[in-house]
């Protein structure tokens, strides 16, 4: 990774990396190590004394049924978001791959939700599903379905999943389409000559060949659902009703800034960091495979 | 096109149109809501077709007193704050990543790999997992309610550094050799050869980072308590809360529309760069 032709040691390279290293140390490494340190402390109710307690905060978390429940809820939420948005994107990309005329036009109209902030996506969906005014809630009511995500926990969950998936379809669509377009036409033509219809070609040729992209997107979508959906949940449900939509990130924020339980919040941050690191490692392993392919 | 199947062709366009309708519906509803007067927006069922109050609402939202009964900054000021934040994040990230990628690829110096790994680690520490301690650091530095506090902690980026590293590695070694023969120093080489050669990559990255910066939500929410420093994206939440008392949905949805307009324009008009940036940074 170093160039064969390069400059010899001097002061200059240190000056060049200095800004980035300084910011990384002050705003990344230091806070992260603080979180790690605080996760081993318990502070009394008045903040007067702190006690070093080793893994007590972590043990308390995993003994706490609410936390364990949040953990599984987050897993369910992120799998649902990834599944829904990737499924929709796959169908759209498979058809877009066939379009000869107007391909750019369709692509343009499909990719813009990517540019919308999660909290705005949440605002749009909460407006459509507003129990008293919302247009979709009104239509559902006409169909005999009573919609009130402020009271009904599973409806609230469904709403945040839909809003989160809606925003991510654009991203998945772009990657699926790029992967499909990079498959050599000759392979597909050969299959067509052998008598394979479009559906069969999709399942036996296109889908297996885009597997690396699918895995890559799965990881990216999980990360997205874990962390970037904070805004959606904050705007739509604030984790409610009765914690029905509280996911891990939301709980870190809530326990730390609202509940001011620093030790527990820090321990939760550390668990989240472990999850990100695991996901990043998985992502990089798949990317190495992708290079071979 | 492999073979001619008229039925499948019709189905293809049908599915695409259905997909677009599904994707665009929430945005259409927002646009419609932003174009009616407040009284119409309280009558069930809400309209599905736009009204004639679009520009009146836009004027009232941008320069008016905002929602009744709330103390928030005027929308134009929030958009300005968002713009400053988005630009500082995008430009800051690009500048520091260019410099550090240049150092790591073109210089041999002690602790080179140490610095590389230090930057790499930031990939694993998104702001959401280190909220509280980062907030404490920024508060201790006295950066609350400032543009520096809004942008600086988000500026370090491993992805941008990786991307520039990748770009620099594809530039032939002969470039540096000939520059040296012609007597150019390292910074001269950086300015006159590396920067022009990576121009499209810089532009593509800028598009992605601008959207990233504009859409920041949790960080500004924590760091700004002063209403004059709020960004437009975070104001939506406050407006949704006040909608419980005074449901001026036309104003709220107009604000939402204004908040999403700049990044959408960037995506639509710089689509090529956007797609390039998206696929290259995430590799």
Which tens digit of pLDDT belongs to each residue from B108-126? 888 888 888 888 877 777 7
What confidence score (pLDDT) does residue A165 get? Answer: 93
Report percent pLDDT > 70 for chain B.
Answer: 94
A2: which chain B residues are within 8 Å (Cβ-Cβ)? Answer: 104-105, 108, 112
User: Can you say whether residue A195 is alpha, beta or left, with left for phi > 0 and alpha for psi between -120 and 50 degrees?
Assistant: left
Q: Could you list the residue range(s) of the whole structural domain that residue A286 is in?
A: 65-292
What is the pTM assigned to this prediction? 0.87
Q: Is residue A53 part of a domain?
A: no
Please report the residues numbered 259 through 278 in chain A whose beta carbons come closer than 8 angstroms to any beta carbon of chain B: 262, 265-266, 269, 272-273, 276-277
A17 with B136: Cβ contact below 8 A: no
Q: Is residue A26 part of a domain?
A: no
User: Can you say whether residue B12 is alpha, beta or left, with left for phi > 0 and alpha for psi between -120 and 50 degrees?
Assistant: alpha
pLDDT > 50? residue A230:
yes
pLDDT > 60? residue B66:
no
pLDDT > 80? residue B40:
no
On whether any CB of chain B is under 8 Å from the CB of A239, the answer is: no
How long, in residues, is chain B? 283
Report d(CA B270, CA B272) in Å as an integer.
6
As given in the structure block, the two tokens for residue B6 are 């008229």
pLDDT > 70? residue A286:
no
Which tens digit of pLDDT belongs to each residue from A140-189? 888 887 888 778 888 889 999 999 999 999 899 988 988 888 888 888 88
What confidence score (pLDDT) does residue A86 get? Answer: 94
Using the 8-state DSSP alphabet, how is residue A8 labeled?
P
Cis peptide before A172 (omega within 30 of 0): no
Report d(CA B131, CA A34) in Å as an integer.
11
Task: Identify which of B236, B215, B21, B244 has the alpha carbon closest to the alpha carbon of residue B127.
Answer: B215
Neighbours of A74 (CB within 10 A): 22
pLDDT > 50? residue B167:
yes
Candidates A119, A130, A218, A254: best to mutate against B (most CBs of B within 10 A) is A119
DSSP-assigned beta bridge partners for residue A7: B107
What confidence score (pLDDT) does residue A49 get? Answer: 66
Q: Is residue A276 part of a domain?
A: yes
Report d(CA B223, CA B153) in Å as an integer.
11
Report d(CA A197, CA A98) in Å as an integer.
13
Report d(CA A162, CA A229) in Å as an integer.
11
Q: What is the ipTM for the molecules in this complex? A: 0.85
The pLDDT of B37-59, averaged and rounded, is 76
Task: Identify which of A264, A272, A279, A273 has the alpha carbon closest to the alpha carbon of residue A56.
Answer: A264
Report d(CA A208, CA A39) in Å as an integer.
44
Higher pLDDT, B191 or A239: B191
Q: How confident is the model at residue A292 (pLDDT cuts 50, 70, 90)?
A: very low
Class of domain B34-281: mainly alpha
Q: How many domains does chain A have?
A: 1
Per-residue buried b or exposed e for B224-240, using 16+ beta carbons within 10 Å of the residue's own CB: beebebbbbbbbbbbbb
- Largest Cα–Cα separation, chain B: 76
Report percent pLDDT > 70 for chain A.
Answer: 92
Q: Is residue A32 part of a domain?
A: no
Which secondary structure element, helix H or strand E, spans residue A221, and what is its range?
helix A211-223
Give the side-chain half-sphere CA count within 13 A for B196. Answer: 6
Report d(CA A109, CA B261) in Å as an integer.
14
Q: How confident is the model at residue A293 (pLDDT cuts 50, 70, 90)?
A: very low
pLDDT > 70? residue B259:
yes
Q: What is the mean pLDDT of chain A?
A: 83
């Amino acid at each position: 990774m170093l160039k064969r032709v390069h400059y010899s040691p001097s002061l200059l390279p240190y000056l060049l990396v200095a800004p980035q290293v300084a910011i990384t140390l002050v705003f990344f490494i230091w806070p992260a190590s603080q979180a790690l340190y605080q996760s081993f402390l318990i502070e009394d109710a008045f903040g007067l004394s702190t006690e070093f307690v080793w893994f007590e905060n972590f043990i308390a978390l995993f003994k706490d049924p609410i936390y364990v429940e949040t953990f599984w809820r987050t897993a369910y939420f992120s799998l649902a978001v990834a599944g829904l948005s990737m499924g929709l994107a796959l169908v759209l990309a498979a058809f877009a791959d066939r379009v000869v005329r107007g391909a750019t036009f369709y692509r343009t109209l499909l990719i813009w939700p990517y540019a919308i902030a999660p909290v705005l996506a949440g605002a749009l969906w909460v407006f459509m599903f507003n129990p008293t005014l919302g247009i979709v809630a009104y239509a559902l009511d006409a169909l005999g379905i009573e919609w009130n995500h402020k009271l009904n926990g599973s409806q609230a969950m469904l709403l945040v999943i839909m809003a989160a998936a809606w925003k991510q379809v654009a991203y998945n669509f772009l990657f699926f389409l790029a992967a499909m377009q990079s498959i050599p036409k000759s392979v597909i033509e050969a299959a067509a000559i052998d008598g394979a219809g479009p559906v069969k070609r999709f399942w036996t040729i296109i889908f297996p060949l885009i597997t690396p992209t699918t895995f890559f997107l799965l990881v990216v979508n999980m990360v997205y659902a874990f962390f970037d959906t904070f805004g959606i949940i904050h705007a739509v449900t604030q984790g409610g009703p009765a914690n029905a939509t509280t996911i891990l990130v939301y709980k870190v924020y809530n326990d730390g800034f609202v509940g001011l339980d620093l030790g527990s919040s820090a321990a939760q941050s550390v668990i989240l960091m472990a999850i990100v690191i695991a996901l990043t490692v998985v992502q990089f392993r798949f990317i190495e495979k992708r290079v071979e392919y | 096109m492999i073979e001619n199947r008229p039925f499948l062709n019709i189905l293809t366009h049908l599915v695409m149109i259905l997909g677009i309708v599904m994707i665009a519906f929430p945005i259409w509803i927002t646009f419609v809501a932003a174009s009616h007067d407040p009284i119409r927006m309280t009558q069930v069922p809400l309209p599905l077709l736009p009204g004639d109050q679009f520009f009146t609402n836009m004027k009232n939202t941008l320069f008016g007193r905002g929602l009744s009964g709330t103390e928030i900054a005027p929308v134009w000021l929030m958009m300005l704050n968002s713009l400053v934040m988005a630009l500082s994040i995008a430009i800051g990230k690009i500048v520091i990543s260019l410099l550090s990628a240049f150092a790591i690829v073109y210089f041999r110096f002690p602790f080179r790999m140490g610095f590389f790994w230090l930057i790499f680690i930031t990939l694993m520490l998104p702001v959401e997992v280190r909220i509280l301690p980062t907030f404490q650091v920024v508060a201790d530095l006295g950066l609350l309610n400032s543009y520096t506090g809004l942008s600086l902690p988000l500026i370090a980026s491993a992805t941008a550094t990786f991307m520039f590293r990748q770009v620099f590695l594809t530039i032939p070694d002969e470039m540096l050799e000939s520059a040296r023969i012609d007597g150019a120093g390292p910074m001269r080489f950086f300015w006159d050869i590396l920067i022009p050669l990576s121009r499209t990559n810089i532009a593509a990255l800028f598009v992605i980072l601008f959207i990233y910066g504009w859409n920041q939500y949790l960080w500004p929410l924590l760091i700004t308590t002063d209403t004059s420093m709020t960004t437009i994206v975070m104001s939506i939440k406050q407006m949704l809360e006040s909608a419980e008392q005074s449901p001026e949905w036309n104003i709220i949805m107009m604000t939402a529309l204004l908040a999403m307009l700049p990044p959408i324009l960037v995506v639509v008009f710089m689509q090529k760069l956007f797609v390039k940036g998206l696929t290259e940074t995430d590799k």
